[in-house]
Structure 1
Amino acid sequence: MKILDILTEKSVITELKGKTKKQVLEELIDAVLEHKPQLDRSRLMAVLLERERLGSTGIGDGIAIPHGKLKDLDQLVLSFGRSTGGVDFESMDGKPVHLFFLLVAPENCAGIHLRALAKIARLLKNSAVRKKLGSVSSREEIYSIIRQEDEDF
């Protein structure tokens, strides 16, 4: 599976406006809805906030991968957002988050959901990739970096 199998260019946000966890989640959800407008926005927010209550999806190194599962979804969907200034996402390392991938999976497909999370984590583990994603200015450039790195895995 490739990240670009589930991430569309329209689902990339070059600069998040939100300053709180909830505001960032709202923007990332809106980007997912560009691709899957039939999804229930409030239900998705509830699922994501419930997951965050279990423990922050801020994994450190300026990265967060909020994720959840929805019953009425037929395939994985993904959005990406970047915050140059960083957002307090209650990350494991206590540092602000700059790069966000929001992953939404069908309720009954644990295996593919976990593979997608692992793939995203591996991509962002590379500090050179994080630096590149933080330094470009356009949606097309961000998407191109993800495409290039996706092919290298």
Structure 2
Amino acid sequence: MPTTQTTKINQLLDPTRVRIGLDESSKTAVIDALVDVLAGHEAISSLDDVRTAVFAREEKMSTGVGKGLGLPHAKAAAASDTVAAFATTEEPVDFGAVDDVPVRILLLLVGPEEHKSQHVKILGRISRLVSRASLRDRLLGAKTPETAIEALRDGEDALRS
């Protein structure tokens, strides 16, 4: 995967890295399930190290960024490239979000320290995408990983930049 500023979220995802309707009721369980989605990814050398980094980042400040979006993320030496996992949840999960809205849409992003700039751009991009109610509705209505990825792709194509 190219590590350029034009990397799109849908380019980071394939159906094996997407979960629809996670049936977890706590923030910890949801994050654990998302990290588990990265199992076997060629760019991840230690799932335990990634999990530790993601939870350490979450302790600093909630990644519930508003409008039902959770963006757990971390920079980790165990990641040789930027990788992502996406999920929707069956029920809203309290993430301690800035707007107090429970989370149902999640993007986990993990990458090496040297991809910090790309990491920030991707987090900004997903925040802009999910600020659109129509895209949130499509993502929450997606019945398959493929339809969720398609919704993200369409949303990104509509963004200017």
TM-score by length of 1: 0.92
Would you say 1:98 and 2:112 are equivalent positions? no
Aligned-partner Cα distance in 2 for 1:50–1:62: 22
The 8 Å contact of residues 50 and 79 in structure 2, kept in 1 or not, is answered as no
C-alpha deviation, 1:73, in angstroms: 2.0
Would you say 1:150 and 2:156 are equivalent positions? yes
- Opposite residue 69 of structure 2, the aligned amino acid is I
- Opposite residue 12 of structure 1, the aligned amino acid is V
Would you say 1:83 and 2:96 are equivalent positions? no
State how 1:56-135 maps to structure 2 within 5 Å.
Answer: 56-135=62-141
Give % identity. Answer: 27
Aligned-partner Cα distance in 2 for 1:39–1:86: 31
Give unpaired runs (5+ residues) of structure 1: none
The 8 Å contact of residues 65 and 98 in structure 2, kept in 1 or not, is answered as yes
Aligned-partner Cα distance in 2 for 1:129–1:25: 22
- Opposite residue 84 of structure 2, the aligned amino acid is L
The 3-state SS of whatever aligns with 1:45 is helix
C-alpha deviation, 1:9, in angstroms: 1.8
- Count of matched residue pairs: 153
Aligned partner (choices 42, 51, 67) of residue 48 of structure 2: 42
The 3-state SS of whatever aligns with 2:14 is strand
The 8 Å contact of residues 8 and 156 in structure 2, kept in 1 or not, is answered as yes
Aligned-partner Cα distance in 1 for 2:93–2:43: 26
Aligned-partner Cα distance in 1 for 2:51–2:78: 14
Q: Deviations 1:81-116 (Å, cap 9, x if unpaired)?
A: 101311111111122100000000112221111111
Give unpaired runs (5+ residues) of structure 2: 1-6
The 8 Å contact of residues 8 and 35 in structure 1, kept in 2 or not, is answered as no
Report what 1:31 is aligned to: 37
C-alpha deviation, 1:137, in angstroms: 1.5
C-alpha deviation, 1:37, in angstroms: 7.2
Aligned-partner Cα distance in 2 for 1:92–1:36: 34
Aligned-partner Cα distance in 1 for 2:40–2:140: 23
